[in-house]
Each structure stands twice: as structure tokens, then as C-alpha cells.
Amino acid sequence: MTLINRRTAIAGIAATAVLARTRMSFGVEPYGPEDAKITIIVMDPMALPLACDCVKGYAQRKYERLADYLKESVGESVRVVWGESLERTIKDQAKGRVTLVIGKDSVVRNGASKAKIELKPIAHLTDMAGSIKQHGLFVVRQNDKAASLLDIEGYKVFWGPEDCDEKAAAPKAKLKELEIETTDGGACDSCSVAAKQLLEQPADAKAAAVISSYAEPLLAGCGSVKKGDLKIVGKSEEVAFVSAFIHSAVPESKREAITKALLAMNKSKDMLTALETKDGFVKYSMQ
């Protein structure tokens, strides 16, 4: 069981959420020329401009380095823009240009549908353990009697957005598989909001929240990893984490060149460090 400290949790969680909103509200300066031949839209929650930088060496992926790497490998100018909404980022930061999109698999797919563009998956980005997957974590308050998923029967659950499979579809499927009935606490915009909602429930309330496995260290890094008020009582099945998608309109020869370059990135230790990955990009395999 993992415990998270309540005394500093709310302050830390709030700081995480505010930091992320502040960065995005002011915008992140694009990297590379506006007329670049390749435009990369980064939606990876582990990218430095989109994450909390309170954990040294974690969630600080530097996609500027990927731009330089692709420019050298493919021989074309590259521009990187960051955003949390694909449709809005294409319109505002990318000025209608999109070649490659890198982000949470389910979020990118959902965003492509809303933006009415066709994207083709070409690669997964491995994490520092070499995994291409993530999962949802069910958490309750530390003094809650629940010790496993079987104990949250009848609890109110705070979910994540519907486009985040690890915080919505996968955990809901897990409860259905175990025939556990819960009540709906609503969808929270972020892990920090879900955790905060849980901590603010009345002391006798039976409630739980679902957060992303990758986000746990971030909440902890903002002052909440000590014995305290949140504990993990279960997890969902794994789903794809960060994937790279290419626009269907990109010519085949260019698509092949970009894909080849991404898959060869594991030969560069500097690139592996810059993107906080063990094996770099690997061929896309999940359906």
C-alpha cells in the first residue's frame, strides 16, 4: 500500500494544478521556424512545459531536442508546439500545420476525432522502465477501512476525463469485471483535482478517486509522499501511454523517413536522456 500525506497534500496538489494552468494560460513559445516542413504537436503530459517540474529528472521531457534530432535525421526543418487540446493547438500554436502528434494514446485519438483529422499511429515512446503502458490507480483516504477494490462497493468514485482511458474506461471496466457497484462522483479534469475532491469529502464519506500511474510521483513531488491520507487500493488494466501519430496526408516517403528516425533514436544516449526513456520509440503494436 502506498500512503500520501494529507497535511501537505492539498497545498501540493493545488500548486501542481495551478502551475500547469499558469504555464498553458500564458502559452509556451514554439520551438523552430514557423514555416518548418515538419510540425510536431506535443501533448505528452511528461513534457516539461505541460507538467510540474517539482520532481528532479521526472516529467521534464525536452522535445526541442527531438526537433533537432529529426532535423538532422530527416533533413527538413522542424517546429515543435505544445498544447493540451489538439484542436485548439492546431488552430492557435500550429497555425493549421500538423505533421506529427505525440501524446497520450487515447487523448490524441479523441482529439483527432474532434479536430476532424486522420492520424496514423507509428510508434510508442517507452518510459524509463521500458514500458509503453500505464494504468489507473484507485485511491482512498488513509484512514478509510478499504484495503482492496472489493472494499469500495457503494463508494462514490471521482473519475478522470472520458478521453483518458486509464482514468475512465479501464478502471470502469475493472469494476464491472469484479461486479463492484459504485456511484458516480463525476469526471475531474486532472489527477490533482480528483485527489483534492477526495480529500475534501466529509470525514465519514465513502469515496475514492482514480489517478494515472505516471502522475503519482508528481503529486508526491509537490510535498505529498510521506505517510498520510491517501492510499492505493487497486489498479486498472494497462493501456497504451505515449504514442506518436503522423498525419495521413504526409507523403509515404516522408512518413517512412520520420518513422525510421524515431525508431533509431535509441542509438543516442543523449536523446534517451532528453526524453526520459529507456528504449526510445518502438514500433506501434497496440490495436
DSSP for residue 220:
I
The reported pLDDT for the residue numbered 228 is: 60
Residue (of 173, 174, 200, 170) closest to 185 by Cα position: 200
**Does the pTM exceed 0.75?**
yes
* β-bridge mates for residue 102, sequence order: 42, 244
Q: What is the mean pLDDT of the chain?
A: 89
For residue range 150-192, list pLDDT tens digits in order. Answer: 999 999 999 999 999 999 999 999 999 999 999 999 999 998 8
Buried b (16+ CB within 10 A) or exposed e, 110-127: bbbeebebebebbbbbbb
Provide the 3-class DSSP secondary structure of residue 214.
helix
- Distance of alpha carbon 218 from alpha carbon 190, whole angstroms: 12
Residue 28 pLDDT > 80:
yes
Q: How many CB atoms lie within 10 A of CB 212?
A: 23
Task: Give the model's confidence band at 219: pLDDT under 50 very low, under 70 low, under 90 confident, else very high.
Answer: confident
Provide the 3-class DSSP secondary structure of residue 188.
coil
Residue 287 pLDDT > 70:
no
Q: How many CB atoms lie within 10 A of CB 56?
A: 7
Task: Say which residue, 287 or 227, is predicted with more confidence.
Answer: 287
Q: Which domains does the chain have, with CATH numbers?
A: 3-15+134-239 (3.40.190.10), 31-131+241-283 (3.40.190.10)
Amino acid at 118: E
The reported pLDDT for the residue numbered 223 is: 52
Task: Say which residue, 266 or 220, is predicted with more confidence.
Answer: 266
